[in-house]
Structure 1
Amino acid sequence: ERQLRQQNERLGEFASVISHDLRSPLNVAQGRAALLAEQGESEHLDPLLQALDRMEAIVEDTLTLARQGDTISETESVSLTNLVGKCWATVDTGEAAIEIVDEMTLQADPDRLRHVFENLFRNAVEHGGSDVTVRVGCHNELGIYVEDNGPGIPVEKRDEVFEPGHSSAQGGTGFGLTIVKRIVEAHGWELSVADGTDGGARFEFEMSEQGEFV
């Protein structure tokens, strides 16, 4: 318990530093991008502005998560297909492919849930390569899975991957899967790691209420 408390304190300090040190240059980048948008049209401007806005939201949500804990008080109906599509478009996935096997509507905080899928997609690409295939679907009436066909995660290391600062990928922050676990559990769901259908990693979360399949 003491170790967990210390880890949470370090995560809170990390969030505060990130929020403070990124806010100023992020504001400058947003201002410059807005000026570029006023000067002319480009197919790259909208994705740029959206990415900067998303960065700002991540900074704010990370700080909120660290300061206010893991409680999620408000949820709404979320389309799995729509949310996954938006998250996939936000992450630098290279030549990777996404397959959405099932459609369902679930009750969740869509902004927090975006962090879950974005971090899982980013993790799959970092460990499985730029040509990895990621599959999202429902494994039963109370579960959602995200799996890939990468190298997978050894059984003895499956608990470690959720620890703050743990990363086996070059350039990884080590906080992505920690954030995934905290947000999933904040919804009252359970998170586990298994072998993927094609031998890669498979992340499953069991929901407390049955989702609506479409």
Structure 2
Amino acid sequence: MSRTDLSEDEALRRMYRTTAEQERTFEQKLPELLELGRTYLRVETGFLTEISDDTQEIVDAVGDHEKLQAGRSCPLSKAYCRRTIDMDRALTVQNASVEGWENDAAYEEFGLEAYIGAKVVVNREVYGTFCFADSEERDRPFSEAEETFVELMAQWVGYELFQTRATERMQRQRDELEEFTRVVSHDIRNPLGILDGYLRLAEETGDPEHFRRCRDAVDRMETLIDDLLFLAREGKTIGEREAVDLGELVRTCWSVVNGESATLAVDTDRTVMGDWSRLQQVFENLFRNAIEHAGPEVTVRVGDLDDGSGIYVEDDGPGIPAEDADRVFDDGYTTDEDGTGLGLTIIQQVVSAHGWEISVTEGTDGGARFEIVGVDPVDD
């Protein structure tokens, strides 16, 4: 069947047949639908765009127009689609040069005489447009049936993209739940085993030392549960931001960490926009980590990075082996048999929720040095 003799009924049948194929992916069906539309509408090209930050990018396209190919982009101000996204129905142009487009930036950029496009909406937000166009004008306006055809395909694209995003989100949640379950089952099983063993010994001997060991196991489980609940409820989110004096914050955090013989040096007067309570969790975990791994007489220093991009927290302890540097933020990773392995995971998630990044390297005195970048100071 040639491009000129595809009827409305046949076009709709092909569209429904293609969209209903469950065994094929959206990416596999999209070019076929663009080609179907190009054939039915008897135009040169068909394309799907994504609009973000005032830029139009072509996601996929069929046809030979040089500037309408997958991966090409242009400012939205130079695109026909800037008007499409403001329309409740499809935007149609039969002859651009006589319909007020001759001095338009989009006409100058693409030279399209005929155009029909509908906006694609995903989760109530404009994603982009589903369009068909030609460098030659049409001998007749687009019909109501043709407008409906393009609108239906744009709605299908929006639905498919919504479903894809929902599926990806559910998969991430399943992966996170599996990891969460793995950490819980692994790390709680250990103190439970210790508790069971020492309770048996305590029952048999009455030795107070066995009861103390039981108490230690219970304390570790409480710490683990607190960390897990934080990760599950708040680890990836932050509350309202406020101006935070980092010097004041780190001194407050230090006062609640058990480090009577340890020393804190503060070399920053930076004020940043952040969630005070969540940042408290970051610095308290960093300080506890330093004391646990470097010893009770450790010196911890907090200061600004030389290039002004952020801050560092370093200690004078033994440091972190180079081969472990990429693993320290993984759930459950710890070199301390009594540790939960979640403290640094919490730190990374809170830092990321602020839009910052954290990494670990060697400190000035050979200890561990955590660098947080992207921490822009508040202007005076």
TM-score, normalising length from structure 2?
A: 0.41
Query: Any idea what SS the aligned residue of 1:152 has?
Result: coil
Compute the displacement of 1:197 (Å).
0.6
Contact preservation (8 Å) 2:282, 2:347: yes
Task: Please tell me whether residue 146 in structure 1 is matched to residue 309 in structure 2.
Answer: no
Contact preservation (8 Å) 2:359, 2:372: yes
2:175 corresponds in structure 1 to 6
CA distance in 1, matches of 2:345, 2:175: 14
Query: Any idea what SS the aligned residue of 1:99 has?
Result: strand
Task: Encode CA deviations 1:29-51: one digit per residue, 9 max, x unaligned.
Answer: xxxxxxxxxxxxxxxxxxxxxxx
1:135 corresponds in structure 2 to 301
Contact preservation (8 Å) 1:142, 1:207: yes
Compute the displacement of 1:73 (Å).
5.0
2:144 corresponds in structure 1 to none
CA distance in 2, matches of 1:108, 1:8: 28
Compute the displacement of 1:66 (Å).
1.4
CA change 1:91–1:3 in 2 (3 A) is: same
Q: Give the counterpart letter for 1:103 in structure 2.
A: D
Q: Answer with 1 or 2: which has the greater Rg.
A: 2
1:201 pairs with 359, 363, 368, which one?
368
1:47 corresponds in structure 2 to none
Contact preservation (8 Å) 2:329, 2:345: yes
1:95 corresponds in structure 2 to 261
1:85 pairs with 245, 251, 254, which one?
251
Contact preservation (8 Å) 2:331, 2:345: yes
Query: Any idea what SS the aligned residue of 1:161 has?
Result: coil
Q: Give the counterpart letter for 2:265 in structure 1.
A: E
Compute the displacement of 1:67 (Å).
3.9
Contact preservation (8 Å) 1:72, 1:109: yes
Structure 1 stretches of 5 or more lacking a match?
19-54
Structure 2 stretches of 5 or more lacking a match?
1-167, 189-221
Q: Give the counterpart letter for 2:329 in structure 1.
A: F
Task: Please tell me whether residue 121 in structure 1 is matched to residue 121 in structure 2.
Answer: no
Compute the displacement of 1:188 (Å).
0.6
How many pairs align?
Answer: 171
CA distance in 1, matches of 2:275, 2:293: 27
Compute the displacement of 1:71 (Å).
3.1
Task: Encode CA deviations 1:84-141: one digit per residue, 9 max, x unaligned.
Answer: 0110011111311000012110111000000000000000001100001000011132
Q: Give the counterpart letter for 1:75 in structure 2.
A: R
Compute the displacement of 1:62 (Å).
6.0
TM-score, normalising length from structure 1?
A: 0.70
Compute the displacement of 1:172 (Å).
1.0
Compute the displacement of 1:193 (Å).
0.7
CA change 1:183–1:132 in 2 (3 A) is: same
Task: Encode CA deviations 1:155-178: one digit per residue, 9 max, x unaligned.
Answer: 210111111111112311110000
Task: Please tell me whether residue 174 in structure 1 is matched to residue 344 in structure 2.
Answer: no
Q: Give the counterpart letter for 2:290 in structure 1.
A: A
1:106 corresponds in structure 2 to 272
CA change 1:79–1:156 in 2 (3 A) is: same
CA distance in 2, matches of 1:64, 1:146: 22
CA change 1:197–1:123 in 2 (3 A) is: same
Task: Encode CA deviations 1:43-79: one digit per residue, 9 max, x unaligned.
Answer: xxxxxxxxxxxx9xx95x9636414661335211001
CA change 1:141–1:86 in 2 (3 A) is: same
1:29 corresponds in structure 2 to none
Map 1:34-49 to 2 at 5 A.
none
Task: Encode CA deviations 1:174-201: one digit per residue, 9 max, x unaligned.
Answer: 1000000010011110111111010100
1:156 corresponds in structure 2 to 323
2:356 pairs with 189, 193, 213, which one?
189
Query: Any idea what SS the aligned residue of 2:249 has?
Result: helix
Query: Any idea what SS the aligned residue of 1:107 has?
Result: strand
CA distance in 2, matches of 1:123, 1:67: 22
Q: Give the counterpart letter for 2:339 in structure 1.
A: G
CA distance in 1, matches of 2:174, 2:301: 35
1:30 corresponds in structure 2 to none
2:109 corresponds in structure 1 to none
CA distance in 2, matches of 1:5, 1:147: 36
CA distance in 2, matches of 1:152, 1:4: 34
